[in-house]
Each structure stands twice: as structure tokens, then as C-alpha cells.
Chain A
Amino acid sequence: AQSVTQLDSQVPVFEEAPVELRCNYSSSVSVYLFWYVQYPNQGLQLLLKYLSGSTLVESINGFEAEFNKSQTSFHLRKPSVHISDTAEYFCAVSGGQGAQKLVFGQGTRLTINP
């Protein structure tokens, strides 16, 4: 069985500061990793995903995450945040050939202060 731990329930940062949202997972099989974002009063949206290949994946709005197999981590980073990045961020894992079941972490609420 897979599990995901997001180490911080809330992360407050100032605008234009860098941010890292931490995610660790456990799994007995090869995994695929995802970050979803939930803006206020909206549904979950896929931010980025790691399936195979390069361990560094990027989103179109400046976020990136690096798959680290030895540390079983998939931390999300952005070098300079904007007010519009205020949202809840969920890390998720899916495992096994053809498996579609997503197991989510508890979420991290990112708050950007001006």
C-alpha cells in the first residue's frame, strides 16, 4: 500500500520569496507522483507529474518538483511566489502498472503575504 506525508499543513511566505512544500511517500512498488492545486472555491487541478525519465519536472507557472528515490521525496518548489499562488497543494502517489488509484497527502495551505 502507498502513503503520502506532507510535512507542513500551512506555509506562510512573503510575495516574491522562494517556497518549498515538502512531500514524502512510501510504496513497495514503483510510483508515479503528482502535485495537485486547489484554488479557493475551485476543484483540484493537476500542477505537475512525474512518470519516468528526468527526475525534475516543471509546471507552466514556474513550479518544479524533483523526484528523489533514495529519500522517497517529491518536494515542490518555486523560486519566487505571487499572490495568485495562494492555494492548497496536494501531493499524490499512484503505483503499479496501469494503476490509476491516487493516494493523497493531507495538503499544505500556501499563504502569500504582500
Chain B
Amino acid sequence: EAGVAQSPRYKIIEKRQSVAFWCNPISGHATLYWYQQILGQGPKLLIQFQNNGVVDDSQLPKDRFSAERLKGVDSTLKIQPAKLEDSAVYLCASSQQRGGLETQYFGPGTRLLVL
């Protein structure tokens, strides 16, 4: 079974530029998560989707971050414009369904450096 795929693996941009990350969850997984992991900290949930609907985006900085999950499969996370403090690893995870305690499977992450 293929795992969670993310691209790109690395991205370097200048502040005020825009960037987008892509995630393909494990086939059949209804729930998808985006986490931000700043160096030296644990991952922090940015947004959670159930199929193509948003379940929790309470910690998403909506003035600059946006995410979508069209057709309930792949997802894209965008930052526009980027700030220096957005430098982090962006992790995508998926699980089979909400309502139970399904294991979350994580992708390898996208490492973003904002200069």
C-alpha cells in the first residue's frame, strides 16, 4: 500500500512570495490533515478535512494560508504572501475516517525556507 505522498520535498522562497504544497493521501482515507512543524517544536494542526469539507481550521492563519481538498482526495496548502516565520516543515497526514480513533499516517513533509 502506497503511503502519503507530498511534493515538493524542499522549497526555498523569499518573503512576500507565494508557495503551494501538494498532498496525496492513502487511497480510501477520508480524513486529511495539514500540520506545521517549526524547528524544535512538535507538529501543530493547521487544518483537518473530512472528505472535501473542513472539520477544523481554528489554527490556520487565514489571512495568508489557504487549503482545499477538491473531490475529497488530493489537497493543496498555499501560503500567500510568505513570512520569515513560516519557515517550517509542512506535514500531511491521512486516516480512514473521523469518529473513531484511526491511526494517522504521515507523509515525509515539505521543508520550507523563507528568506
Residues of A bordering B, CB below 8 Å: 4, 6, 9, 32, 36, 41-46, 49, 51, 90, 92, 94, 98, 100-107
Contacts and interface: CB of A to CB of B under 8 A. Distances in A.
Closest 7 CB pairs of A and B: A104-B42, A44-B106, A43-B106, A98-B99, A43-B108, A104-B43, A105-B42
Interface residues of B, number: 28
Interface of B: 3-4, 31, 33, 40-45, 48, 55-56, 91, 93, 95, 98-109
A4 B42 contact: yes
16 contacts: A4-B42, A43-B107, A43-B108, A44-B106, A45-B106, A49-B103, A90-B42, A92-B42, A98-B99, A100-B98, A100-B104, A101-B45, A101-B48, A102-B43, A104-B42, A104-B44
A42 B43 CA distance: 14
Contacts of A4: 42
Given A44-B91, A44-B106, A100-B31, A32 B45 contact: no
A100 B102 contact: yes
Determine chain B's interface SS by DSSP, over half rule. Answer: loop
Given A94-B101, A104-B43, A107-B42, 6 more contacts: A32-B101, A43-B91, A46-B104, A100-B55, A100-B102, A104-B42
A22 B40 CA distance: 17
B107 A106 contact: no
B103 A46 contact: yes
A76 B33 CA distance: 26
A102 B91 contact: no
